[in-house]
Every structure is written in structure tokens, then in C-alpha cells.
Amino acid sequence: MIYILQKAVSRPSEESDSMEESKADASELLPKENPGPVPLSVRRAKQLISLFTMVQNPNMTHLKLGEVVVLPPLWIRCDGSDPEHTYWLGAEPLKAGNKIVGINLYMVTCDGPTAYKTCFANLEELKMQHKILHHSSVVTTKGFAQYELLRAAAIEDTIVEPESSIYVDITWNTVDKILETPPLISAATLNIALEPGDPRSPVYQLYRELQFLLALAEGLKTGVTKWPEPLEPESAVELVQEFVADLKKKLDGSWVSGNRNGMEKIRCDTEAVDSSIKSIFSERGDLDFAEQLWCKMKCVSSYQELIACFTLILESLEHGEIQPWIHHGSSSLLSKLIQQSYHGKMEAVSLTGITPIQMLLEIGLDKMKKDYVNFFIGLLHFHISRFTRTSSSCSKASPYVGNNGQLYSPTSVQTREPLPLDTQSPRSMEGGHK
């Protein structure tokens, strides 16, 4: 254990805040990020090191400190303002048994950063200095390197924690030169810290949907719903209007779909793996009407906007202007109303109270459940594709595919969703009653 000493940033007192409030601009009144601890001046750090060594000195009897307790090593972070550019001062008590016999003092300086290797001392010179300083005839060298694959976001020279980051620590023995490239025999450790809600995550949109669903569920309990901030240039009402207009064009036969190219030919194994990874995180291609409606309404920003969206949908269903299809097995209120619209009859639904929120929550939950099932099955497909799309031998591929098949079967049973998903549409419903 060691002590690390830094300077805490004090918050302005309430008195000073009230005195300056009348002079401050609106921007100055906004909450600011906590910059975290800052380094001490070198002068203050040396004073604290002196006090630390004094209380650890058993010969300072005039201080009447009583029995001296051996403290852990102390390291103080400095601001490098002195001519030597000191950034760390350290003191480590030396003990024999329970008694202190001395203290090692350390000073870490830095002249960088520099972009030229010639600015550094020669490795052999460093070894020689180490031998002279420590009176040692043998010097052991070890190398360390760190590569940042995904770094935490920096805000005003501070690191926001917690934040997603991925970096690799590499260590090796027997260093030949300063800033050498790690050899192939180095030991590497992959450090991954993932924070939910990181915008750089490939599942960030799924995370936002989940947070909105949780807010809707909490609103049903408390009676107060926290609506998300609008991020889209168009409002939810405008998106739903465009969505309904497209459905009307399809029903009228005036809508022409764009020509889609077939699946791109995968030219090599690497492209096959990349394609599989993209397919895992991509949007499903079998979204029914309710799920597509959720994609339009997940940006709804008020209760009034929510009512306007559902009013537009229910009126279009009631008048037969749209005849959407839905997945089989959906139990949401909207799905039931859609099924009723196939027969030209719909029960009256009052869009008051918690009913609109309940309807939105239901279609969102239905989509989220299918998204998770699709992701898990897509992950299995990705592992299987290692052998179905690559040149692995049959002896290696067969047991692997068999093991994944054992996982695939209970997955489809547990989800209770037929694969592929059945659909319900006006045509299928009419055919079933003939």
C-alpha cells in the first residue's frame, strides 16, 4: 500500500456564489464538470515530504510523538513548475523488523514530450548511472508499452470516469534500446472497461431504447414520465405521418420499391467474418408494423405528441386507409386493434390517462424482446460461420457445429418464437376464414 497525495479542488463557497451571482452570465451558472484532483506546487510538495520524514525519524524525541509507526510510502504529484520539471516526489521508509532505519527519497522529472529518440539518453548510459547510484554490478531491464485501442473521452484536460476504454499492456524482458518496438515474445494483457450508454458502442441505439422503455415503465408507477430529449430533426408526429402516407401508397399500388442488389459476394474469409459481425448489430429486416411504428415514436418528446401519433394511427386503421401486417403471437393492444381492423370492426379506445403510455410500452417491449433473440441467434450464426464460410476441415467443423446446434434448439424453444417468424396480414386472415 502507498499514499498518493494530490490537491483537491475546492468548490466556491455559498457566500462567494451569492455575491457573484448578479455579475455572472447565464453560461457561468451552468454546472461544470468536476476537474478532479490537481498537482501540488513543487515547493509545497517538498515541505510535506520534510514533515513526513520528520515524523518517521525516531531521533526526533523533542517532538514527543510517542512510538513511531511505520507508514506506507508517500508519493506526491507535482506540477513540474521548478527548473528540473519535477512531477513526482516520493519517500519510502526503510525498516528492520518494526524499527525504521532510514528513508529513501525519490524525485521523478520529465523533459518531454519529445518526438525524437535522439533526445533520450543512451540505454547503456542509463545502466551505468543506475549501477553508480545503487552500487550494483548487475542491471536487469524490462520493457513496457501501452497501446490505446479505444480511449476515454477527454474534456478540458481531464478524463471522465467511468468511460469505456480498451487498451493493451505489453511487457517484455531484456530491453535493447529506448522506445523499441515490443518483440513478438512479449506478454500482452487486454484491458477492457465498458460503460453502458457509451455513444461509441455499436448497441448504443438499443441502449437508448431500453432506457426509454424503463422510463415509460417507471412513469406508469409514479404517474410522472420522463420524456427523452429530441435528437431527430423531425418530430415523432411528422415521422408517423410520413410512415402512414407510405403505407397508403402501398395499399393504393402507387408505391414503387427501390431495386435492391442481391447479397454482396463475399470474396474472402476476412470479409465473411466482417459481414457476420455487422449482421449481429444491424437492424432486423423483418420488422412488422408495430415495430416500425416504435422506431418512429421512440423519439416522442411529450404526452401530447404521443396522443397525436396514436390518434393518427387509430383513425387510419378505423377508416381502412392502411392494412398493416404484424407478427404472429403479439399480445399488445395495438396488435389486437390491427387484427380487428382486418374485419372492419375496432373497439373504441380512449387515448386518455395511462392508456397511450401503456400502448407505447407494449410495442416497445415486443420489439426489444425480438431484438435480443435476433442478437443471440445472430451470435450463434457468427460462430457457426467460422466453419461454414471458411476453409476449416470437416473434422474440426462438425463437432463445433454440433455443439452450437445443441444451443440453438433450446434457444428457439425458450423464445417461443417460430423461426422464421409467422406474420399476420389482411390476406392471411381472410384465407383462414374461407
User: DSSP letter at 421?
Assistant: P
By CB neighbour count within 10 A (0-12 exposed, 13-18 middle, 19+ buried), where does 93 fall? buried
Residue 139 phi, psi (nearest 5): -125, 130
- Asked whether 424 and 336 are in contact (CB, 8 A), the reply is no
Query: Which residues of the chain register pLDDT less than 70?
Result: 10-35, 63-66, 68, 112-119, 151-162, 253-283, 378-434
pLDDT of residue 380: 67
**Is the C-alpha dihedral spanning 415, 420, 425, 427 positive or negative?**
negative
The structure's pTM equals: 0.53
Question: pLDDT tens, 292-308?
Answer: 999 999 989 999 999 99
What was the pLDDT predicted at 416? 39
Specify the pLDDT at position 114.
67
CA–CA dist 324, 308 (Å, integer): 19
Angle of CA points 245, 249, 251, to nearest 5°: 115
Structure confidence by residue, pLDDT tens digits, 54-94: 888 877 777 666 676 788 899 999 988 888 889 999 999 88
pLDDT tens, residue by residue, 337-365: 998 888 888 888 899 999 999 999 999 98
Q: What is the pLDDT of residue 279?
A: 53
Residue 381 confidence (pLDDT): 63
The end-to-end CA distance of the chain, in Å, is: 80
CA distance 320 to 343: 10
